[in-house]
């Protein structure tokens, strides 16, 4: 059986998702080495999984002719440098989102991977969630007729520390960007105009850092349909990830995932399980599917599902949303 030899770059939080999956759960993947300047962290991750080759410098992986592809799971500000080098070395790339906050730098990566003829998939993992895939399928099959409204609620279980917010690029670039991708993906349309209002209702420190923690964003789509996203940095009942698409023939809605399907009826009330706690729990299987899709695309030489070019669109929307919010909610056209 053909295998894709993969080098993992980074041993941080998201690498701890991808690395065991690539070792154990992704058919056709062979993770051969991991690079991280923090060799101790790298070994802590690799040894129990039986990966012996651990190196401090990702360039070592790029020079290895046996490595077909790299996963870029290093800090965001290193993505562009590594992606350009990987493209130059002719490696296929899986790059965690976002490639960068800066549009011109993203464009450089797009050009590099396209001219090198390597694949570059960006980690919009939610597209692989079983619920959202089903919605996408129903829309594409025409089960809903013409899409008219898209509604997305996306709320985190816990506000991040202000220190994180400061470097995050703001709620639209950091959090809503997933929903921008989803709104366009599920509707099969382009986002043409955005208007956003935000408030700081959860942590005043987030407001002092110039960001908001609660927002509502309205979108116009190229088809004429409308969409709305609401975000909160803190839903005390857990990670709230629901989507609804409404069309001329009907509606499809996806509920949250729960740790099990039990209902407990007591004298004090009837209890269901809360949603799965956060993205690692909710999107566990979506990560596997995403990785599998990348490996399959590389092995079969087919297009990846979310290319570097595809990943630019939600960044442009996030920029427009930030501008709209700064202008007090005025509608802003999305740059093409």
Q: How far is the CB of 298 from a copy of itself (least distance, A)?
A: 18
**Residue 149 touches a copy of itself, criterion: CB under 8 A:** yes
The verdict on 255 binding a copy of itself (CB under 8 A) reads yes
Interface residue with a copy of itself among 251, 277, 302, 303 (CB under 8 A) is 251
Q: Which helix (H) or strand (E) holds 2?
A: none
Cα distance between residue 147 and residue 138, in whole Å:
11
Q: Which helix (H) or strand (E) segment is 226 a member of?
A: strand 226-232
Span 169-198, contacts to a copy of itself by CB under 8 A: 193, 195, 197-198
Taking CB under 8 A as the criterion, the residue among 246, 279, 283, 287 binding a copy of itself is: 246
Q: Angle at Cα 181 formed by Cα 178 and Cα 187, nearest 5°?
A: 135
Of 58, 60, 69, 50, nearest to 5 by C-alpha is: 69
Q: Among residues 13, 104, 260, 335, which is the contact residue for a copy of itself, using CB under 8 A?
A: 260
The whole-angstrom separation of Cα 122 and Cα 290 is 10
Could you give the CA distance from residue 318 to residue 170 in angstroms, rounded to a whole number? 9
Number of residues that bind a copy of itself (CB under 8 A): 73
The footprint of a copy of itself on residues 33-62 (CB under 8 A) is 47-48
The answer to whether residue 256 forms part of the interface with a copy of itself (CB under 8 A) is yes
Give the one residue of 60, 64, 81, 230 binding a copy of itself; rule: CB under 8 A: 230
Burial class of residue 201, CB neighbours in 10 A (0-12, 13-18, 19+):
middle
Cross-strand partners of 92: 69
Min. distance of Cβ 125 from a copy of itself in angstroms? 16
From candidates 13, 63, 117, 266, binder to a copy of itself by CB under 8 A: 266
Biggest CA-to-CA distance, the chain: 66
CB of 307 to a copy of itself, least distance (A): 26
Each residue 94-123 as x (binds a copy of itself by CB under 8 A) or -, in order, gives ------------------------------
Q: Rounded to an integer, what is the distance from CA 274 to the centroid of its chain?
A: 23
Minimum gap (Å) between residue 331 Cβ and a copy of itself: 4
210 to 229, contacts with a copy of itself by CB under 8 A? 214-216, 218, 220, 224-228
- Does 263 help bind a copy of itself (rule: CB under 8 A)? yes
Residue among 2, 65, 104, 270 that touches a copy of itself (CB under 8 A)? 270
Token pair recorded at residue 313? 């669109």
- Minimal distance, residue 2 CB to a copy of itself, in Å: 11
Calpha distance 130→75 (Å, rounded): 28
Q: At its nearest, how many Å lie between a copy of itself and the CB of residue 301?
A: 21
**Residues 46, 33: Cα–Cα separation, whole Å:** 9
Instruction: Using DSSP, state whether 187 is helix, strand or coil.
Output: helix
Q: Binding segment for a copy of itself among 64-72, 100-108, 141-149, 163-171 (CB under 8 A)?
A: 141-149
Q: Could you count the other beta carbons within 10 Å of the beta carbon of residue 159?
A: 16
Among 76, 78, 153, 222, binds a copy of itself (CB under 8 A): 153
Determine, following the binding rule CB under 8 A, whether residue 269 of this chain makes contact with a copy of itself: yes
Q: Kindly state the smallest distance separating residue 60's Cβ from a copy of itself, in Å.
A: 26
Q: Is 138 an interacting residue with respect to a copy of itself (CB under 8 A)?
A: yes
Binds a copy of itself by CB under 8 A, chosen from 93, 139, 175, 235: 235
β-sheet with 54-55: strand ranges across:
54-55, 29-35, 4-9, 69-72, 92-95, 120-122
How are beta strands 240-247 and 250-254 bridged, if at all? Answer: antiparallel
């Amino acid at each position: 059986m053909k295998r894709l030899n993969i080098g993992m770059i980074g041993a941080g939080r998201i690498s701890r998702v991808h690395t065991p999956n690539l070792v154990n759960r992704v058919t056709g993947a062979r993770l051969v080495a991991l690079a991280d300047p923090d060799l101790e962290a790298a070994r802590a991750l690799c040894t129990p999984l039986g990966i012996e080759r651990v190196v401090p410098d990702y360039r070592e992986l790029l020079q290895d002719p046996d490595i077909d592809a790299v996963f870029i799971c290093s800090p965001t500000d290193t993505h562009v440098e590594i992606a350009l080098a990987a493209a130059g070395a002719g490696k296929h790339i899986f790059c965690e989102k976002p490639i960068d906050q800066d549009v011109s730098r993203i464009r450089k990566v797009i050009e590099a991977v396209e001219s090198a003829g390597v694949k570059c998939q960006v980690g919009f993992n939610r597209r692989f969630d079983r619920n959202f895939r089903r919605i996408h399928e129903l829309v594409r099959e025409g089960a809903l007729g013409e899409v008219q409204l898209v509604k997305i609620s996306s709320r985190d279980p816990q506000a991040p520390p202000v220190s994180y917010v400061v470097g995050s690029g703001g709620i639209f670039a950091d959090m809503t960007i997933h929903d921008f991708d989803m709104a366009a993906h599920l509707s099969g349309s382009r986002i043409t105009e955005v208007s956003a209002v935000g408030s700081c209702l959860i942590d005043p420190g987030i407001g002092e850092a110039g960001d908001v923690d609660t927002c509502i964003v309205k979108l116009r789509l190229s088809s004429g349909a409308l969409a709305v996203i609401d975000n909160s940095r803190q839903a005390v009942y857990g990670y709230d990830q629901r989507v609804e698409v409404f069309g001329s023939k009907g509606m499809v809605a996806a509920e949250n995932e729960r740790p099990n399907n039990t209902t407990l009826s007591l004298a004090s009330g009837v209890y269901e399980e809360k949603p799965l706690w956060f993205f690692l729990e909710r999107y566990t299987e979506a990560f596997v599917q995403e990785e599998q899709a990348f490996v399959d695309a590389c092995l079969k030489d087919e297009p990846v599902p979310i290319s570097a070019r595809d990943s630019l669109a939600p960044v442009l929307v996030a920029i427009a949303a930030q501008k709209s919010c700064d202008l007090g909610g005025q509608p802003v056209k999305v740059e093409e």
